[in-house]
Amino acid sequence: MRVIGVDEAGRGPCIGPLFVGAFCLPKEDEHLLEELGATDSKRLRPAQREAMAAELRDLGARRGWGLAVQPLSPTKIDAAVEEKGLNRLEVEGFVEAIQAVWTEGVDHRLVLDACDVDAARFGRNVDAGLAAVGLISAETEAKHQADAENRVVGAASIVAKVERDAWVRSFIDESGIDVGSGYPSDPKMKRALPSLLQGQRPHEDLRWSWATTKRGWEEVHDRPAPVRTEARTTVQRRLFDPPSS
C-alpha cells in the first residue's frame, strides 16, 4: 500500500500560478515523515520550509518516494473562473499531480486537502477524474485542513509552497516589481498593482478574474477589465455578459 497526500498552495493571490503538490510513499515509511517533522507548510518559516523540502527530496530519492508539483497557470485559472469554476480546475490539477506519482501494480490510499466546501464531494470528483484515466484508489479521504493532520499531506503542502515561493522570487527578480506575497491584502501587492495594469491588457501573470485586478483595471482605464478565456483570447466584458462564477 502506498499513500498519496495532495495539497495546493497559492489559491488566494491575485498573481501567479496555483501549485498542486502530491507526495507518495509506502505506508510503512510514514513514520519517517514524523521524524522529519513534516507538517502544514503554514506552520513553518520560509527557511524551515526550504530545508524541509530539500530533506524530503533527498530522502525520497533514496527510498523511491514520489513527488510532483503541478502548476495551474493564471490563464487556466481565469478561464476556469469564467467558464467552469475554480473547484473543477483544482480537481483536474489534483488528478494530474496524482497521476505523476502513481505506482503501477500496488494499491493507493489518497488523502486530499479538500478545496471544495463539501469535502466529500471533492473526493468523489477527484476519484471520478482518476477513473476517467484508468486509475482507481483503494481508499480516498478528502477533508479540510488535512495538511495539519496528516504527515503525507503536510509534505505535499511543503513542496507546493516552496514552488510557489520560488515563483514569487523569480517574478520579483525578473520584473523588478516587488509584489510581496502576491495576496490582495499585501501592501506591496497593492502598491505594485497599478504598474501591472498600465498596458493594453493586464500583465499576463496577473489573475484577471480576481476582483482586485478588475477593480484596479477600472480605476486605471475607466472601463471594464478584459476577460481571459480557455483559448487564451481576450474579450471585453459587456454589460449583458453573465457574471463570473
Q: Say if residue 48 is in the same domain as residue 72.
A: yes
Q: Say if residue 107 is in the same domain as residue 67.
A: yes
Q: Say if residue 55 is in the same domain as residue 30.
A: yes
d(CA 192, CA 188): 6
- Scored b (16 or more CB within 10 A) or e, 139-156 reads ebbbbeebbeebbbbbbb
Boundary of a domain, candidates 116, 139, 169:
169
Q: Say if residue 87 is in the same domain as residue 207.
A: no
Q: Say if residue 42 is in the same domain as residue 107.
A: yes
pLDDT at res. 71: 97
| Sign of the dihedral defined by the CA atoms of residues 193, 197, 203, 207, in that order | positive
pLDDT in tens, 177-213: 999 999 999 999 999 999 999 999 999 999 999 999 9
For strand 226-228 and strand 234-236, is the pairing parallel, antiparallel, or unpaired? antiparallel
Angle (CA) 90 154 162, round 5°:
75
Residue-number span of the structural domain to which 141 is assigned: 2-169
Residues facing 227 on adjacent strands: 235
pLDDT at res. 231: 64
Domain contains 245: no
Q: Say if residue 147 is in the same domain as residue 45.
A: yes
240 — pLDDT class (breaks 50, 70, 90): very low
Instruction: State the chain's mean pLDDT as an integer.
Output: 92
Q: Say if residue 94 is in the same domain as residue 61.
A: yes
pLDDT at res. 83: 86
Q: Say if residue 189 is in the same domain as residue 211.
A: yes
pLDDT at res. 84: 77
pLDDT in tens, 47-85: 999 999 999 999 999 999 999 999 999 999 999 998 878
Boundary of a domain, candidates 169, 185, 207:
169
Higher-scoring residue by pLDDT: 236, 39? 39
pLDDT over threshold 60, residue 232: no
Q: Say if residue 186 is in the same domain as residue 86.
A: no
The CATH number linked to 115 is 3.30.420.10
pLDDT over threshold 80, residue 143: yes
pLDDT over threshold 70, residue 241: no
236 — pLDDT class (breaks 50, 70, 90): very low
Boundary of a domain, candidates 137, 169, 201:
169
pLDDT in tens, 86-104: 999 999 999 999 999 999 9
What count of Cα atoms within 13 Å lies in the side-chain half-sphere of residue 74?
20
Q: Say if residue 25 is in the same domain as residue 135.
A: yes
pLDDT in tens, 100-136: 999 999 999 999 999 999 999 999 999 999 999 999 9
pLDDT cut 70: percent of the chain above it? 94
CA dihedral 28, 8, 87, 121 (to 10 degrees): 20
